[in-house]
Structure 1
């Protein structure tokens, strides 16, 4: 393998308005800030993994998930996010429930947007 075993991943999420996006990641999602510079704010995702919120002058948000989290209880997390004003996305034909959770076999998924419009995802594995 080209990458050293155990190399933690680093995700990049782009924003044109750091002041608007920063409270979402820090306060609503509860991510711990690890570093900040003029280019990006780095959040600790645990296990050495990080998320970098990168400032750009122009950015077209992705309609597909740019980062996701595996959670033990997706209904609980979706409910907690909804209480903080985060709306789960509903997609036609996905068979989602009232919380926006889609079930495939034993696995469950849900999607939501950050203030920039980037799609983020929750997964509960079966």
Structure 2
């Protein structure tokens, strides 16, 4: 049933005036619409809905991620736009902050609300 439906990605913000420029200018996403409830950005084959909420405590785990072809290039581009990548004591990460697992190479960063976001260069399938 839902295996053929398109997923909608969701994250929260308490300050749309900071979230919109981060996702639009820093990450390069196209804003489709904004109202008092959310800011909606175009993604490949779906959308990212940044929900405006009055209170929010970010999760300690990844809220949203992107599958990328060349993680080093993406990290370098985001670094040039002021994005800082997160380092975790429990993972062995390289100089760019990439954790190399058997199935993927992963790096994490946070949005202005503290949502943990990731880049993944996968080693399995297309």
TM-score (norm 1): 0.93
SS of 1:121's equivalent in the other structure is strand
Distance 2:15 2:103 in 1: 38
User: Are 1:46 and 2:44 an aligned pair?
Assistant: yes
Give the corresponding residue for 1:28.
26
**Structure 1: runs of 5 or more not aligned:** none
Give the corresponding residue for 2:98.
101
Distance 2:7 2:96 in 1: 29
Residue by residue over 1:95-116, the C-alpha shift from the partner in whole angstroms, topping out at 9 and shown as x without a partner, is 1001100001352000000000
Q: Any runs of at least 4 consecutive aligned residues in structure 1 with deviations exceeding 3 A, and if so which?
A: none
| Matches for 1:106-125 after TM superposition, within 5 Å | 107-125=104-122
Residue by residue over 1:29-62, the C-alpha shift from the partner in whole angstroms, topping out at 9 and shown as x without a partner, is 0001112111001111021x11011111100011
**Structure 2: runs of 5 or more not aligned:** none
Report the aligned-residue RMSD: 1.1
Number of residue-to-residue matches in the alignment: 123
User: Are 1:14 and 2:15 an aligned pair?
Assistant: no
TM-score (norm 2): 0.93
Give the corresponding residue for 1:3.
2
Deviation at 1:78, TM superposition (A): 0.7
